[in-house]
Amino acid sequence: MNRKYFIVLLLSTFFWACKKNKDIIPPIEDRYEEGEEFSAGIRTIKDESSLAFSYQLSGLNSQEKLDFFVGNSFFNQNWVQAPSSSTARDGLGPMFNARSCASCHFRDGRGQPFVNNGLLFRLSIPGTGSNGEPLGDVNYGGQLSDNSIQGVVKEGDFNIFYNDQSYQFPDGESYSLRTPIYTFNNLNYGGMNGGIMFSPRIGQQMIGLGCM
């Protein structure tokens, strides 16, 4: 093949491919919707610190800001046992997992069970209820309460132990994983069902809600 002809053919193919590609790819302004880079649209909070979940949503009006402030104060303050001089913040118990919402949703983010609070155990036994819901334990219901008010005995305690297991990557490098082992003790209202099933849970983030 003539060298000059070959070069012309190569350049023609290149420019044709570029033109075809250009026709297929739409203009950049048509490839996305305005504001879609913000995960919550105009409500997006531009903060990546540990306080990011604690802000009110952007764009609230004056009444909504007040509602957020009031709700957030309930969220962060400890509830107390009734009767109390603080009639707006009493009514804790008789059994509970934490005294405040913020204890399990630290800084409105996920719970930190090994630093603060935020770990609880959901309980169920085999079978389902009339609406398809899980069946709770006959003595402890659907969730273990490891705290209680004065004069009431809490349901019980839990402990966490770890079983370290060693493994190897295909290239021979060793690594280890910890398997948590959960146990319940000091159960004050009788034994749990022999088929008890449990699920450890941590508090989830409460994004910009300021809710009660």
Question: How many domains in the chain?
Answer: 1
Domain of 161 in residue numbering reads as: 32-202
* pLDDT of 196 over the 70 cut: yes
pLDDT at position 41 is 76
pLDDT at position 55 is 83
Average pLDDT over residues 58-63: 86
pLDDT at position 106 is 84
Average pLDDT over residues 79-87: 88
Residue at 22 is within a domain: no
Distance CA 117, CA 100 (A): 10
Residue at 119 is within a domain: yes
Residue at 145 is within a domain: yes
pLDDT at position 22 is 47
Predicted TM-score (pTM) of the model is 0.72
Distance CA 208, CA 57 (A): 5
User: What does pLDDT average to over the chain?
Assistant: 84
**Residues paired with residue 188 on neighbouring β-strands, in sequence order:** 190
Residue at 27 is within a domain: no
* pLDDT of 65 over the 60 cut: yes
